[in-house]
Amino acid sequence: MYSIIALGNPGNQYVKTRHNAGFLVVDNAFSDLDWHDNKYAFAHIATAEIGNTTFQIAKPTTFMNESGKTADYLISKEGIDPENMIVIYDDLDLPLGKFKISFDRGNGGHNGIKSIEEHLGSREFIRIRIGISKVIESGELVKPNVLGNFDPSELELLQETANTVYKAIGVIISEGKEKAMTVFNQ
């Protein structure tokens, strides 16, 4: 069984910030979910389906640096295998509109990923890193403030990314993470 954790910060002031790219992608890719609060999971939880596979999606209600509490709950109480946990989060090293799928990778200084690694005692989980940086005319990648808001055109691009991430999740679930990395990591 798979489970997805989308990373972000709670509160209206963070809704459209770059650090909330995980929340934004999940909200766009799975727009018709019925979310409920699970205080034991420290998260809003919904059930989603792709093909014939049903899985949980969690959006932690803690701040980013405590996201591991949700991962810990999903593993200890819901029986999710860490290798079947998909974490979707923002990445400053990728341009907006791009994403990368990885497994058993370092945390890259991301506090949400650090927290999950600490709670699991492992790096062996699937990551979908969502690009949030800007590319200027020279081709240089400019890393913005993660708490800065996306502008409307960037939110449109993030919507397109969410559509492709949805397809990638389908491949992960039906054909495995290696196949998804081959198809989507370009």
* Domain range annotation of the chain: 3-184
- For the annotated catalytic residues, the residue numbers are 19
Q: H helices within the chain, ranges in order? A: 21-29, 68-76, 111-120, 152-175, 177-184
- Check residue 173 and give its pLDDT: 96
| Helix pair 68-76, 111-120: axis angle to 10 deg | 30
Please name the residues in contact with 49: beta carbons below 8 A apart, sequence gap of 6 or more.
Answer: 55
Q: What is the largest CA-CA distance in the chain?
A: 49
Amino acid residing at 104: D
97-154 confidence digits (pLDDT tens):
999 999 999 899 999 999 999 999 999 999 999 999 999 889 899 999 999 999 999 9
CATH superfamily membership of 3-184 = Peptidyl-tRNA hydrolase (3.40.50.1470)
Alpha-carbon distance 152 to 182, whole Å? 31
Considering the entire predicted model, what is its pTM?
0.97
pLDDT surpasses 90 at 24? yes
Q: How far is CA 92 from CA 26, 47, 135, 145, in A?
A: 18, 29, 11, 9
